[in-house]
Amino acid sequence: MSYYLMIFVGAVLVNNFVLSRFLGCCPFLGVSKKLDTALGMSGAVVFVMTVAAAVTWCIDRWLLAPHGLGYIHTLAFILVIASLVQFIDIAMKKFLPPLHAALGIFLPLITTNCAVLGAAEINCKQGSGFFESVFFSFSAAVGFGFALVIFSGIREKLAHADPPRCFRGIAIALVTGGLLSLAFMGFSGLVKLPY
Amino acid sequence: MKTVKSPFKFKGGVHPDYNKELARDKAIETMPVPAELVVSMSQHLGAPAKCIVKAGDFVTRGQVVGEKNGFISVLVRAPADGKVKSVEKRRGPAGGMADAVVIDTTAKPEVPETPENPGAGAAKGGPILPPLDWKTASREDLLKRVEEAGICGMGGAGFPTAVKLNPPPGKRCEYLILNGAECEPYLTADFRLMLERAPRIRLGVEIMRKILGMPAVRIAVEANKPEAIAALEKAFEGIEGNVEIVVLPVLYPQGSEKHQIYATVGRVVPEPPALPIDVGCVVENVGTVAAIADAVELGEPLLGRVTTVSGDAVAEPKNIFAPSGTKYSDLIAFCGGTKEPPAKVISGGTMMGFAVSSTDIPTTKTTSGLLLLTRKRVFQYSSQACINCGRCVRACPMNLNCAEISKAVEADDIASAEAMHVMTCIECGACSFGCPAYRTITQLCRRAKNSIRARMAAEKAKAAAAAKTPAK
Amino acid sequence: MATAIIIIAGVGLVAAFTLALADRFLSVKEDPRIGMVTAALPGANCGGCGFPGCDGYARALVAGTAPNGACAAGGDACARAVAKILGVEATATERRVALVKCCGTRSEAIRVGDYNGICDCNVAAATAGGDKGCTYGCLGYGACANVCPKGAISVRDGLAKVDKRLCIGCGKCVTACPKRLIELVPASATIHVLCNNPDKGPNVRKVCGVGCMGCHLCEKNSGGKEAGHFTFQGFLAKVNYQNPPDDAQIVAKCPAKCMAEDPHFETGH
Amino acid sequence: MKPKETAEHYILSSSPHAHAKTGVSRIMLDVLIALLPTTAAGVWFFGMRAVFVIATCVATCLLTEALCRMAMRRESTVGDLSAVVTGLLLALNLPSGIPLPMAAIGSVFAIAVAKQVFGGLGMNPFNPALAARAFMLISFTGPMTTWLKPVSRCCGGTCGAAPDAMTTATPLAAMKTMFAADAATGATPHATGAIPSFWDMLIGNMPGCIGEVSAIALAIGAAYLLWRKVITWHIPVAFIATVYVYSLIAGGAPAYAQVLTGGVMIGACFMATDYVTSPTFGKGKLVFGVGCGLLCMLIRQFGSYPEGCSFAILIMNALTPLINRFTQPKAFGAK
């Protein structure tokens, strides 16, 4: 139990995917203008990352590893994740229209979210078990969502700010992201785990 | 009858410099009719009255010059005899243009009274309307008299009193609240009125009680007017029924309708479009109540009111009973002119009054004060950034997030301002008053409200048009 | 090596096959014309048509609940393209641009006070009617410029000016102006009356050096009343845009100097 | 041509026409006045060295502010004193032994990166002084964690004397180990000399940042701010109470020591109460204070930095917009 708690705290606070590992910066900057969309994106990422972790774990363990093909897992994962997201998009539209209405527009964006691939890669490298992998990916996604939601709060505030012309838009968002990352460095050492 | 302390305190509020000492000891003086009166058709809230006289007509004191034009409207009577010079669009204190009848009061009638031109003769003396005995008169008669007398709320908004006193079916007035708070700085008109005409107010209360079906009465007075409280206590001695004088703590905006209701009976008026009557309350200004007494007992319609002329630029601050339509310049002249050039002229109090661009503007039934301030009393707004100190949100009596609203409006984000309930803003100005960045918070709220109202009106018009043309 | 290729190819094939199946059996039907119409619209999302963005208008067009040609930004070409997709006749639209009917600059119009507040015409107008003596004139606080989706309006010398080339005629400025002095006029019209004050001449002169006094000279110089180039509202001349005048002489001959030949302002974008 | 005006020419503005006449610069001046006691205490304990650090930070902040505004072609805001406050707060959060160029770099970071790029006072999401401190802590870890012992006053040290060059560990580092070694040793921490006596902690006779050592001086300043109604009680009380309760539960060093050492006092009274970066509403302020206290103690107990106060406040700064959003009170009469 406490092991899983450590994984969770580690993935959310200490080694936050966005603020510490700098993964998934594109949606972090792209979909953080409004809190509502940030929440939608977070939900979608948590969903996709958890499912993707399960699928990639299976691919790695049962397809690649037996044939000693660890070196092509990046290639395989990209393929699998991209198709998986597409499939989820289509299936969700058919079977869960309300959920699709809420998360739908974010799904295509996740296809290229390196955080999904990153989580799969880390799991692969750690050689962790199935539940551990899935839980880690879930935690990492929650961490991603946490950072995204905080960031969207700040950006909503920044929308009413008046930075110099050359800093408007993404520039000021990057500065803010940097400062946020600086603040999160305070968590370093909180959990002593490889994750 | 008893005097009680206000049992409920609302959140927020501010303590501006009241500066009431300038005029509080000046007894009400009746001003002679000025040479020219500018009688606006839009002295009240709602549709402006329809002007029924034309240039060259002679009018007598009390003659109807503007007819009620719709449900929420009030008729307008000539405050003095004279000849109509012209009927033209004039700027009101709030900047809006409205038809106004310009009356030359020095002109003597030249034409005899004819059937075509009734009332062209000189004032006949005697009452304008037949006096009524309120005890025997029916409720409908009394209500009709309030309407005929052209009475609207004299606290500032000018809501037609006859409409207010006639709650829609299904709604009952349980409390009649008399607003004698006068929380606006400088103004002492209501204070003088309560002090000098307390028996009139009692009579008005008795009439209004009859019209409203004997509700309980709460007379709300701020604690900084002990003389007025004493006068009211004396006048209301021996009145039967549930009548209380509620002494409110000195706090701006104690005179706001919603906050007065809360402070006196602890009820909360829901968001607009809810009205006080939805929580069983009717709030009337003490001036309105006295006007009702005059209209019923003396047959004297509402032709003038007490206006406080004050400020550090006025030679001699005064409380003046002047005919509605007196130009500000005449009022100032009656106070001995200015001793210093004013930098700002305000119609009303300093917290909610309107700055005017000229002293050529006439008083109306709602002009409670005229303030002339010198440059050292005037401050400049700036567009500095909000430092989020929270003074505005602590001061806001409506519990709004003024800081965020103002920032949203500045960024043209009216939708989020609306989500933050900007429509409930009462524009009391408490937020701007305390803002250390001198931000225009109240103005920004007003701007948001205006554009939301405009959008709502456009939507309504669109819906009406869509309803008219059946879908193909 | 071969295993790697086979496995990757296999995974790819399985994925492709699954997606193909999903697309075949799980897809949700949507009218393809919506996408086509959206593509044909300019995509400025200005809302000038009254719908939330171009996509909203496209959906309404396909559903048949909106008239074609409401898009002023796209103009004729757009209406024709949409009509082609929908298979209906296009209604011809003339390009219209906004015109600010006031020429009372700071040096010409009288100011009656020092306005101290937010830079917004609506608030300024609610503050004693604004600081301009003329109650019909442009306050110059840019409420129109704020709502313009194209940035075509800028305030110069206390007066809003429209860049004709940028204006798409969406009409947002028309409703934003508290003085209601912006009008959409045909882009081809060149002669305009830049005044909105219907008061009598002396009253107009009191507040502005370039206000229309209703002297009817423009009407006389353009061929008299029968020619029908002008209409009058009170003491204010108005160009009849159904039949606009084109003789530049009448501008020069206007004694009030309230007329102008193509007053549209070019921001040099 | 001169604009035409009428003879009657008044100022036109929308209501209200009255103002409390307390400006931003007055508030900043109040903060500066409130910081005087702790500044004096810092100079008393760390000597001229502290004066140099303070002077460097304040001067650099003012200069950066002026230059930034010039570069942005906006009106100067030097007069509102906010840059002075930032400079002073940053200096008070630095060890007295910090090389002056580093202090200057931190000051430039505080004003330029943490404040002016966002558009100046009021727009910055993070407290500039704290952002600069965090930046310096990560960039110049060595100098930022080298503490000089206070000048020994009892031995007749004068103001001009160089501070004791001996570097030492702060009580915080000692207390960190105490979390783990709790109750193992029977001796009280004071007796073992690991942390200073209660009295020394109260007046500030211990190693630490220039302005954070003297709890009494900070409390006087905070009382002044409360009396002037510049700050409300919510954040300081919630912050300090959380730290106290947490350390009671977690054990280790005495709870009062956790409160009196490190940046808790200055953080709770001066840094966390920064208007711009803290929540607007009372409820939100309480949440903010509790969050600061919790994060601060978590980092103190488990993190790799001995002091978590500035990081805790920075993280709560980031959460402030969300806290504001969810603690917004109900409008009067709203459903």
Within B137-256, where are the H helices? 139-148, 161-164, 189-196, 198-212, 226-235
- Average pLDDT over chain D, rounded to whole? 86
**CA–CA separation, D195 and D169 (whole Å):** 10
Residues in chain C: 269
pLDDT > 80? residue A192:
no
What is the assigned CATH class of domain C32-86? mainly alpha
Q: What's the mean pLDDT in C8-33?
A: 84
**CA–CA separation, D12 and D17 (whole Å):** 10
**CA–CA separation, C85 and C67 (whole Å):** 14
Percent of chain A past pLDDT 90, that is, above it, reads: 25
**CA–CA separation, C52 and C50 (whole Å):** 7
Helix (H) or strand (E) holding D322: helix D309-326
D95-to-D49, D54, D69, D300 alpha-carbon distances in Å: 10, 11, 29, 18
| Residue C127 sits at the chain B interface (C-beta within 8 Å) | yes
The residue that leads in pLDDT, B421 or C87, is B421
Composition of chain C by helix, strand, coil, percent to 5: 35, 15, 50
Whether cis (ω within 30° of 0) applies to the bond prior to B273 is: yes
**CA–CA separation, B353 and C194 (whole Å):** 34
Compare all CA atoms of chain B with the CA of A156 and give the residue at the minimum distance: B408
Would you give the DSSP letter of residue B160? B
Question: What sign does the CA torsion over D303, D309, D311, D316 have?
Answer: positive
Residues of A in contact with D301 (CB under 8 A): none
**CA–CA separation, D13 and B440 (whole Å):** 10
The 10s digit of each residue's pLDDT in A87-119 is 888 887 788 777 776 666 667 777 667 888 888
| Residue D304 sits at the chain A interface (C-beta within 8 Å) | yes
Contact criterion met (CB < 8 Å) for B96 and C129: yes
Would you give the DSSP letter of residue C237? E
Chains touching chain B, criterion 3+ CB pairs below 8 Å: A, C, D
pLDDT at C46: 65
pLDDT at D159: 41
Residue type, D14: S
| Residue A160 sits at the chain B interface (C-beta within 8 Å) | yes
Interface residue of D67, D75, D113, D118 to substitute, partner A, most A CBs within 10 Å? D118
Are D215 and D260 within 8 A, CB to CB? yes
pLDDT at B121: 46
The 10s digit of each residue's pLDDT in C142-172 is 888 888 888 889 888 888 989 888 888 888 8
Confidence bin at B1 (pLDDT 50/70/90):
confident
Of B149-153, C89-93, D147-151, which one has max mean pLDDT?
Answer: B149-153
pLDDT at B120: 45
C-alpha distance from D89 to closest chain B C-alpha (Å): 17
- Phi/psi region, residue B12 (left: phi>0; alpha: psi -120 to 50; beta: rest), is left
Residue C93: partners with Cβ closer than 8 Å, 6 or more residues away: C69, C72, C75, C76, C79
Identify which of D15, D20, D120 has the shortest CB distance to residue B442. Answer: D15
Domain boundaries, chain D: 24-144, 170-325
Identify which of A75, A83, A90 has the shortest CB distance to residue C26. Answer: A90
Among C residues 6-65, those touching chain B with beta carbons less than 8 Å apart: 65
- DSSP symbols for D123-139: T-SS-HHHHHHHHHHHH
Residues of C in contact with D5 (CB under 8 A): 110-112
Are A136 and A122 within 8 A, CB to CB? yes
Six token digits for residue B349: 């109090």
- Helix, strand, or coil (residue B411): coil
The 10s digit of each residue's pLDDT in C100-120 is 999 888 888 888 888 888 888
**CA–CA separation, B176 and B164 (whole Å):** 11
What is the C-alpha end-to-end distance of chain A, expressed in Å?
A: 16
| Residue B76 sits at the chain D interface (C-beta within 8 Å) | no
pLDDT at B116: 53
CB atoms within 10 A of CB C180: 12
Contact criterion met (CB < 8 Å) for B446 and C126: yes
- DSSP symbols for D21-72: ---HHHHHHHHHHHHHHHHHHHHHHHTHHHHHHHHHHHHHHHHHHHHHHHHT
Phi, psi of A78 (to 5 degrees): -60, -45
pLDDT at A169: 82
Six token digits for residue D329: 């009170």
Q: Which CATH architecture has domain C96-261?
A: 2-Layer Sandwich (3.30)
At which residue do the structure tokens 């607009």 appear? B272
Compare all CA atoms of chain C with the CA of D7 and give the residue at the minimum distance: C112
The residue that leads in pLDDT, B305 or A95, is B305
Q: What's the mean pLDDT in C9-38?
A: 83
The 10s digit of each residue's pLDDT in A39-81 is 888 888 888 899 999 999 998 888 888 888 878 888 888 888 8
Confidence bin at D190 (pLDDT 50/70/90):
low
The 10s digit of each residue's pLDDT in B243-301 is 999 999 999 899 899 999 999 999 999 988 888 999 999 999 999 999 999 999 999 99
C-alpha distance from D6 to closest chain C C-alpha (Å): 5
Percent of chain C past pLDDT 70, that is, above it, reads: 90
Contact criterion met (CB < 8 Å) for A159 and B385: no
Compare all CA atoms of chain B with the CA of C118 and give the residue at the minimum distance: B440
Helix (H) or strand (E) holding C32: helix C32-40
Chain C with chain D: Cβ pairs closer than 8 A: 46
Closest C-alpha among B35, B46, B41, B36 to residue B89? B41
Residue type, B467: A
Closest C-alpha among D283, D289, D297, D282 to residue D316? D289
Q: Work out the widest C-alpha separation in chain C, in whole angstroms.
A: 97
Residues of A in contact with D116 (CB under 8 A): 164
- Helix, strand, or coil (residue B92): coil
Contact criterion met (CB < 8 Å) for B354 and C135: no
**CA–CA separation, B101 and B441 (whole Å):** 37
Q: Is B381 exposed, middle or buried (0-12, 13-18, 19+ CB in 10 A)?
A: buried
Q: Is B21 exposed, middle or buried (0-12, 13-18, 19+ CB in 10 A)?
A: exposed
| Residue B344 sits at the chain A interface (C-beta within 8 Å) | no
Closest C-alpha among B363, B331, B359, B299 to residue B126? B299
**CA–CA separation, B54 and B462 (whole Å):** 37
The 10s digit of each residue's pLDDT in B186-224 is 999 999 999 999 999 999 999 999 999 999 999 999 999
pLDDT at D157: 40
Residues of chain C with CATH 3.30.70.20: 96-261
**CA–CA separation, B311 and B369 (whole Å):** 10
- DSSP symbols for B246-258: EEEPS-BTTTSHH
pLDDT > 50? residue D163:
no
CB atoms within 10 A of CB D239: 33
Q: What's the mean pLDDT in D55-74?
A: 94
B225-to-B20, B193, B356 alpha-carbon distances in Å: 10, 12, 29
**CA–CA separation, D304 and D137 (whole Å):** 12
Residue D290: partners with Cβ closer than 8 Å, 6 or more residues away: D238, D239, D242
Residue type, C92: A
Contact criterion met (CB < 8 Å) for C27 and A90: yes
C-alpha distance from A63 to closest chain C C-alpha (Å): 8
At which residue do the structure tokens 């009657």 appear? D8
Confidence bin at A195 (pLDDT 50/70/90):
low
What is the C-alpha end-to-end distance of chain C, expressed in Å?
A: 58
Residues of C in contact with A80 (CB under 8 A): 11, 15
Residues of C in contact with A66 (CB under 8 A): none
Q: What's the mean pLDDT in D204-222?
A: 90
* β-strand partners of B152: B160
At which residue do the structure tokens 């230059």 appear? D67
Which of C79-88, D149-158, D204-213, D235-244 is predicted least confidently?
D149-158
- Helix, strand, or coil (residue C17): helix
CB atoms within 10 A of CB C246: 12
D64-to-A14, B109, B145, D86 alpha-carbon distances in Å: 33, 77, 72, 11
ipTM score for this prediction: 0.83
Residue type, C195: C
pLDDT at D128: 95
The 10s digit of each residue's pLDDT in D302-331 is 888 878 899 999 999 999 999 998 998 888
B150-to-B77, B159, B290, C88 alpha-carbon distances in Å: 7, 11, 13, 60
What is the C-alpha end-to-end distance of chain B, expressed in Å?
A: 66
pLDDT > 90? residue A121:
no
**CA–CA separation, B16 and B1 (whole Å):** 32
pLDDT > 50? residue D161:
no
Angle between helix axes A73-95 and A114-126 (nearest 10 degrees) is 130
Residues of D in contact with B401 (CB under 8 A): 280-281, 324, 328-329
Closest C-alpha among D92, D140, D136 to residue D110? D136
* β-strand partners of D183: none
Residues of B in contact with A162 (CB under 8 A): 385
Contact criterion met (CB < 8 Å) for D12 and C110: no
Contact criterion met (CB < 8 Å) for D4 and C209: yes
Cα-based angle B426, B431, B434 (whole degrees, multiple of 5)? 150
Closest C-alpha among D170, D203, D233 to residue D40? D203
Residues of B in contact with D232 (CB under 8 A): 390
Contact criterion met (CB < 8 Å) for B407 and A160: yes
Would you give the DSSP letter of residue A70? G
Among D residues 60-79, those touching chain A with beta carbons less than 8 Å apart: 71-72
Identify which of D17, D18, D334 has the shortest CB distance to residue B421. Answer: D334
* β-strand partners of C191: C261
Compare all CA atoms of chain D with the CA of B385 and give the residue at the minimum distance: D122
Confidence bin at C74 (pLDDT 50/70/90):
confident
Six token digits for residue B415: 């939708």
Residue type, D248: L
